[in-house]
Amino acid sequence: MKLAGVELVRVEVPFLVDIETAAGAHRTRSLLFVRVVSVEGEGWGECAALSQGTSVDPTVDEVEDAAAGRGVARLIEASAARGGHLPAEAEVAQLFGSSPVDRMLAAVFEMATSDAELRQSGRSLAAALGTGVGYQSMPVGAAVGIPGDRDVARLRDGVDAVVAQGVARVRLKIEPGWVIEPVRAVRDDHPELVIQVDANGSFRSDDAAGLERLAEWNVLCIEQPLPPADLVAHAELARCLSVPICLDESLSSPRRVLDAIRNESCQVACLKPGRLGGVRATRLAHAACAQAGVSVFVGGFFEAGLGRSSNLALAARLSEDAPGLVGDLSDPATYLSVDPCGFPRVHGGWVRVPDQPGVGPSPDEVTLGDLNARRRWFPATYT
Ligand SMILES: [Mg+2]
């Protein structure tokens, strides 16, 4: 495919309800799309970065600056080296380094190139990944944040709402002082519901006794209890607790996934393709987890429909390789005021993996206009 240029498209979409976590509140989802345009057709990628970064994840502004700089330049240089032809999807992530910004760039440029290739060949991402019979639908999980005023009644309403949609499991955000009361309330309301909790790194090792109490309410796992850098402290905590530990922010690269496995820091891994560097990087990390007996689920960054469709197809393929836990695959319409892309409808807690050509639904041009998208075009000029 002959590369004509690359466009960066940025829109701001308010969340339906502020998303409160121990790491801060999210009010607006800044969406960054990369559009790769070739003579034969185009492809879209969606960046996972949020408006606010964390100790391990860059902000969308940082990724957009880098995309406008070395991101676009490397794709154009790689195309120039191939006589103007876009590199194959399998080659794109390797154009980038190992920094957090570079892994986000790798993921979004890989997605855009993959989308262009798949549309050109008339194949879906699920088909390209070799997803087989029996994995055309996936169960959907949801995350419920901390009510701003720690109002248990509001939390219960929030959980009731996602349970009414049929979600197979709920991840409750917790933080010091907001552990027992919310979990007990939700367990009382929903005796059969699969409950996970996510602390976003807000506890310390000496909180172990309090966290162990979660076993009383049959919590599936405790996600990221301690700050992300310390894999050894997580390993020590895992030996003290009967509730399995899941890591999320700690798994900031495929290499870190291997380190966590070697240290026995977790029994469950939340793998986020945007953070790890794309679909291929996530499959490598998943293979290592499967071999070590670490259960995996595909985590989300409150994506729009394109990014979430990519995660959906990947989750289907991974669950075929090794049974995992329910991923963050809920419909973006349940948390974004507008989803410029759209997503398959969720029926009874299950969603069908897209089988149309491409990675997923690309953003709607009219919706992008209504949202006053900021668009920058970078023509592929070869000297
Ligand atoms: Mg998490």
pLDDT tens per residue across span 371-381: 999 999 999 98
- Residue 152 and residue 101 in one domain: no
Structure tokens, 131:
């997803």
pLDDT at 26 over 90: no
SS3 percent helix, strand, coil of the chain, rounded to 5, is 40, 25, 35
pLDDT at 217 over 80: yes
Question: What pLDDT is attached to residue 19?
Answer: 78
CA of 161 from ligand 1 middle (Å) equals 21
- Residue 368 and residue 329 in one domain: no
CA of 224 from ligand 1 middle (Å) equals 6
The 10s digit of each residue's pLDDT in 51-94 is 999 889 999 999 999 999 999 999 999 999 999 999 999 999 99
Residue type, 149: D
- Residue 333 and residue 247 in one domain: yes
Burial group, residue 33, by CB count within 10 angstroms (0-12, 13-18, 19+): buried
The catalytically annotated residue of 272, 280, 286, 317 is 272
- Residue 75 and residue 200 in one domain: no
For residue 357, being part of any structural domain is answered with no
Question: What pLDDT is attached to residue 24?
Answer: 73
The catalytically annotated residue of 173, 256, 283, 308 is 173
What distance in Å separates the CA atoms of residue 323 and residue 118, rounded to the nearest whole number? 27
Please confirm, yes or no, whether 2 is among the known catalytic residues: no
For residue 191, being part of any structural domain is answered with yes
The residue behind tokens 């191939």 is 82
- Residue 306 and residue 372 in one domain: no
Question: What CATH code is carried by the domain that includes residue 41?
Answer: 3.30.390.10
Structure tokens, 273:
């393709």
Structure tokens, 284:
């490598």
Give the dihedral of Cα atoms 123, 129, 135, 139; nearest 10 deg.
Answer: -100
CA of 228 from ligand 1 middle (Å) equals 11
Report whether 327 contacts 300 (CB < 8 A): yes
The 10s digit of each residue's pLDDT in 246-278 is 999 999 999 999 999 999 999 999 999 999 999
The overall pTM is greater than 0.85: yes
For residue 374, being part of any structural domain is answered with yes
CA of 265 from ligand 1 middle (Å) equals 15
CA of 249 from ligand 1 middle (Å) equals 7
- Residue 308 and residue 367 in one domain: no
Report whether 311 contacts 346 (CB < 8 A): no
What distance in Å separates the CA atoms of residue 297 and residue 311, rounded to the nearest whole number? 10
What letters, b where the CB count within 10 A reaches 16 and e where it falls short, cover 92-102?
bbebbeeebbb
Strand partners, 231: none
CA of 134 from ligand 1 middle (Å) equals 28
For residue 372, being part of any structural domain is answered with yes
- Residue 170 and residue 241 in one domain: yes
- Residue 208 and residue 64 in one domain: no
- Residue 170 and residue 284 in one domain: yes
Measured between its terminal Cα atoms, the distance across the chain in Å is 19
Domain count for the chain: 2
Give the dihedral of Cα atoms 119, 77, 61, 175; nearest 10 deg.
Answer: 70
What distance in Å separates the CA atoms of residue 271 and residue 247, rounded to the nearest whole number? 9
Give the pLDDT band (50/70/90) at residue 100.
very high
- Residue 100 and residue 154 in one domain: no
For residue 229, being part of any structural domain is answered with yes
Please confirm, yes or no, whether 173 is among the known catalytic residues: yes
CA of 136 from ligand 1 middle (Å) equals 26
- Residue 39 and residue 169 in one domain: no
- Residue 99 and residue 156 in one domain: no
CA of 173 from ligand 1 middle (Å) equals 8
Phi, psi of 338 (to 5 degrees): -140, 130
Helices 72-81 and 100-121: angle between axes, nearest 10 degrees: 50
Question: What CATH code is carried by the domain that includes residue 304?
Answer: 3.20.20.120
Range of the domain at 70: 3-122+362-379
